[in-house]
Amino acid sequence: MSLLRISSRVIFSSNATALLFNQQKAAIHRFVRPTLFEIRARKKKLEELNGPPKPVPRSEFLEWNHDAEIYAFGKRLKEDFNFQLLQQAFIDRSYIVQEEMKQRSVGVENPLVNMSDNATLAKKGEELITEFVISFLNLSLPKFPREGVKAIYRHLVSDEVLAKVSESIGTKELILSSDYPPRSDVYVNTLKAIIGALFESSGEAKAYEFIRDFICTQLSQVDINEFWNYGENPKELLEEICKDKKLGEPEPRLIGQMGKNTLLAVSHVGIYANKKMLGSGFGEDIQTATEEAIKDSLRNFFKTNCNMKPFDFRMPVEKVANSLNKPVIAAASVDNI
């Protein structure tokens, strides 16, 4: 479109030269410039006094229909919501308090706000997110230790990630809260309440699909090894794993060295158990290389190395729901995360 605009500008400028030579140029009135100057100066003065102007909520515009917006919100997500529940999902506690204060300030002694906030829906949504995300991760990374799964889970349900998801599906203008733009925890609460409302209106499977499509997909293009640093002592962890698998004692061996005593020195260390290579790593000295090699062997055991299979974001939710009934995975999701 800007191309069009540029080309139109080119045409216009040729017209302008034509105008210059043949006809009189359309004049801008002499009062325009000083008026704009004055308006700008006054705006600047006001800003110095009161600070920068606050962002105006879209809902304060004349063309705003809250019900239509909520209807379109549901349709955008391709879900069938119960309208009342979806309405409720956008009401934050702070909004109700604010409304009550408003009524009190006018002189109403027993303020009556006929609204209920989204706390219960958000609680339900949070439960659904926890159980689904944990079992999704457990199914996707069957060999990854519990602590690692918990670390990834903590990243996924962190305020930054959930608030970003919430804002990106268009909750910003719909949220009823005391401040605008909404705080990040209000964004998060609203997203959870929307999931709770979806559970109440269309059932568990739809809610799980929503979580899979909007929350679990935030794991794409992310290095999952970043969230967990292999515990306190990766070497002990590797020794334990080798003991469990009866592979023998893991031992580091120098398998290559180049550019010794130079700036570009590199050592290559492999970890071997019973003459079988578990993994290898490199670094500027032997110690760093050994640490890297231990991490690489752990990644090979956990199946989370660089060329791991990507997450299956189209995993049927029934599979995850079924795994929730299995005691092993259910226990993992319940034990205090």
Judged by the rule CB under 8 A, the positions of this chain that interact with other proteins are: 1-3, 6, 58, 62-65, 68-69, 71-72, 75-78, 164-165, 168-170, 172, 212-214, 216-218, 220-223, 255-256, 258, 266, 268, 282, 306-307, 313
As measured in angstroms, the least distance from the Cβ of 58 to other proteins is 8
Residue 42 CB, shortest distance to other proteins, in Å, is: 25
> Of the two residues 125 and 332, which places its CB atom closer to other proteins in the complex?
125
Select from 139, 136, 165 the least CA-distant residue to 153: 136
Is the Cβ of residue 148 or residue 279 nearer to other proteins in the bound state? 279
Q: Minimum CB separation from other proteins for residue 2, in Å?
A: 5
Tell me the DSSP string of 113-164.
Answer: -----SHHHHHHHHHHHHHHHHHHHHHH-TTS-HHHHHHHHHHHTSHHHHHH
Taking a C-beta distance cutoff of 8 angstroms, is the pair 122, 197 a contact? no
Of 228 and 282, CB closest to other proteins: 282
Q: How far apart are CA 61 and CA 177, in angstroms?
A: 17
| Cβ-proximal residues to 306 (8 Å cutoff; 6+ apart), any chain | none
CB of 318 to other proteins, least distance (A): 17
Q: By C-beta, is 170 or 248 nearer to other proteins?
A: 170
- Position 21, amino acid: F
Nearer to other proteins, 59 or 103 (CB): 59
Residue 328 C-alpha from the chain's centroid: 28
Helices (runs of H) and strands (runs of E) counted in the chain: 14, 3
* Smallest distance, other proteins to C-beta of residue 112, A: 30
